[in-house]
Chains A and B, each alone.
Chain A
Amino acid sequence: MNGSPNMSSRPNPILSAPRWLQIGIVVMALLAVAPPIIAALDQAFWLDVFTRMLILAIAAASLNLILGFGGMVSFGHAAFLGIGAYCVGIPAYYDVYGGFLHIGFAVFFSALYALITGAISLRTKGVHFIMITMAFGQMMFFGFVSLEEYGGDDGLIIYERSNFNGLIDLYDDTTFYYVCLISLAVVLFIINRLVNSRFGMVVKGAKSNERRMGALGHPTYRYRLTAYVVSGAICGYAGALLGNFTEFISPEMMDWTRSGELIFMVVLGGTATIFGPVYGVLAFLVIEEVLSSITTYWHLIFGLLLVLVVLFVRGGIAGLLRGWFSRKKGAV
């Protein structure tokens, strides 16, 4: 920040951005340069890990929108990942590989499922809401398990990834990585705008004090349902990416334990923050990789970690970072 009298009066946007945004941008930049570094170190395996991380970060960000900002603890969010993935898998089963079609289906059907289940679930709150979303998620799981035609319990293998007519080649791992990274950046930007808009204020207000919102005149149900649908649609998109990535789609993707993992990622990273989901998924996957290489029983340590985090760590990683780097309360 030069004091030169010839500089324009607008402050430097990067240097004067709030701390959380600076850190987040740095992390995204690091993620952007990861592929060449990984290639140079000849650790292709890690490209896979990071790609998966990006996809799950999109899913976690969508969950954070309703859980972190909106206080709606959805324990069935993995269902959207599954729906999105099957929207790639089922057309592929019929030799339909159009990428835009896949994405269109993924977003549409996820939004539809969100609309229907959300309309019912959001009439409840607190624990009831948690249990009902869990039950709906499991309903989808069992529904797909019994669809023998599409593999049922055994799952569905896809033999070709989504085809974007030469625009993007999803077979190139690096291209796929950048598709996911750019998608994540766009999603984070959209969510940032959403939560700071009037719409976002209503959703946040409903989390903070639902009763007061009603007394003030806000009909909160319709806004929460909208947030739920948006969240579902974004997660469905992530599901489409996931289906392409794993090339194997199974009902397991929708199991309630997967929803639990998503929630853990969001909480670990710090709820109600923009980059929290990124940190949370990163930490989760790194821990998973490290622990599983130490012992087959790493789930035990994982579970222990989870219990300890819940008991003792408030605010998650984002909170920790905020605390380390600045004393001011974070912007978001």
Chain B
Amino acid sequence: MALMQIRDLNKSFGGVHATAHVNLEVTEGEVHAIIGPNGAGKTTLISQLSGELLPDSGEILFAGRNITKLPMHARSHMGLARSFQITSVFQDMTMLENVALAIQAHQGHSFRFWKPSAKDASLTGPAMEYLAQVGLEDKANSIANAVSHGEHRQLEIAMALATEPKLLLLDEPMAGMGQEESSRMVEILGKLKGSKTMLLIEHDMDAVFALADRISVLVYGAIIATDTPDAIRSNEEVKRAYLGEEAA
């Protein structure tokens, strides 16, 4: 069953056709990776999916509903969660508070003025669980701007998970990570495989081939191929598009 359907999506900036007639389907339960050379328009695409950018034309369907023009927070409530390529967390708050905010967003309204949220077990309990899921339980009370880059990326995932999404949009989760940190991230995402549907944008080919069920290749805003990892690995057009960049 297709959880997300992208139909003929287009977006241009001035003369640049950043998203060109993109057609894509994400099946429920799969890990679908999007790869492509730099400048292919991956972040533009994901921004349209998450609601930050409005496409010029085309449709985005999620769980059967047309979400093309739906604002960001509404998409989140429908079950779409996004992690950011450049870490976008609450730097001045603790790791626990970061995740708690994510949980709070999906627990009804926030017009609660009296009880300190730090003492609210319905927030702190689940927040600790999600931190544990990404291996950050020891850092729960650390201020977010005091932890390492890799831990930031893990926090990004924890916050996305905390909104209990049906679909995770992961924008280069491995960005800027060293070998060891990347392996840990692959492990974390690997554990989610099957229970969470993921649309994963990545450059790190080891991670992509370890995790993906299907891969779509984005070049100059257009999808040139969608297939299984092995098929993509041996696809001539894909190899050409990377102009010698290793595709395996």
Q: Which residues of A contact B (CB under 8 A)?
A: 193-194, 196-202, 204-205, 208-209, 211-219, 223, 226, 329
Write out the residue numbers on chain A whose beta carbons fall within 8 Å of the beta carbon of B115: 197-198
CB within 8 Å of A: which B63-105 residues: 71-73, 76-77, 81-82, 84, 88-93, 97, 100-102, 104-105
Grouping DSSP codes into helix (H, G, I), strand (E, B) and loop, the A interface class, with mixed when no group exceeds half, is: helix
User: Which residue from chain B places its CB closest to the CB of A194 in the assembled complex?
Assistant: B113
Write out the residue numbers on chain B whose beta carbons fall within 8 Å of the beta carbon of A198: 104, 110, 112, 115, 117, 120, 123
Judge whether A201 and B113 touch: CB under 8 Å: no
B16 within 8 A of A: no
The distance in angstroms between the C-alpha atoms of A196 and B119, with both chains bound, is 10
User: Which residue from chain B places its CB closest to the CB of A211 in the assembled complex?
Assistant: B88
Q: Which residues of B contact A (CB under 8 A)?
A: 50-52, 71-73, 76-77, 81-82, 84, 88-93, 97, 100-102, 104-106, 110-118, 120, 123, 143, 159, 163
Judge whether B106 and A217 touch: CB under 8 Å: yes
Residue of B89, B101, B112, B143 touching A329 (CB-CB under 8 A): B143
User: Which residue from chain A places its CB closest to the CB of B165 in the assembled complex?
Assistant: A217
User: Which residue from chain B places its CB closest to the CB of A216 in the assembled complex?
Assistant: B105
The distance in angstroms between the C-alpha atoms of A208 and B52, with both chains bound, is 18
Judge whether B120 and A217 touch: CB under 8 Å: no
User: Which residue from chain A places its CB closest to the CB of B88 in the assembled complex?
Assistant: A212
A-B contact pairs, 30 of them (CB 8 A): A193-B116, A196-B116, A196-B118, A197-B114, A197-B115, A197-B116, A198-B115, A198-B123, A199-B110, A199-B111, A200-B117, A201-B100, A201-B117, A205-B93, A208-B90, A208-B91, A208-B93, A209-B90, A209-B91, A212-B88, A212-B89, A213-B101, A214-B72, A215-B50, A215-B76, A215-B81, A215-B82, A215-B88, A218-B101, A223-B111
Residue of B52, B91, B102 touching A216 (CB-CB under 8 A): B102
Chain B: minimal CB distance from A61 (Å): 16
Write out the residue numbers on chain A whose beta carbons fall within 8 Å of the beta carbon of B71: 214
Chain A: minimal CB distance from B147 (Å): 14
Judge whether B105 and A217 touch: CB under 8 Å: yes
Judge whether A199 and B73 touch: CB under 8 Å: no
Judge whether B117 and A209 touch: CB under 8 Å: no
Judge whether A209 and B113 touch: CB under 8 Å: no
Write out the residue numbers on chain A whose beta carbons fall within 8 Å of the beta carbon of B73: 213-219
The distance in angstroms between the C-alpha atoms of A234 and B159, with both chains bound, is 35
Write out the residue numbers on chain B whose beta carbons fall within 8 Å of the beta carbon of A201: 97, 100-101, 104, 110, 117
Judge whether B105 and A204 touch: CB under 8 Å: no
User: Which 3 A-B residue pairings sit nearest by Cβ, starting from the closest?
Assistant: A217-B76, A217-B105, A214-B72
Residue of B50, B89, B100, B113 touching A197 (CB-CB under 8 A): B113
Write out the residue numbers on chain A whose beta carbons fall within 8 Å of the beta carbon of B118: 196
Write out the residue numbers on chain B whose beta carbons fall within 8 Å of the beta carbon of A219: 73
The distance in angstroms between the C-alpha atoms of A213 and B88, with both chains bound, is 10
User: Which residue from chain B places its CB closest to the CB of A331 in the assembled complex?
Assistant: B118
The distance in angstroms between the C-alpha atoms of A120 and B219, with both chains bound, is 42
Write out the residue numbers on chain A whose beta carbons fall within 8 Å of the beta carbon of B123: 198
Residue of A200, A204, A209, A215 touching B72 (CB-CB under 8 A): A215
Chain B: minimal CB distance from A322 (Å): 14
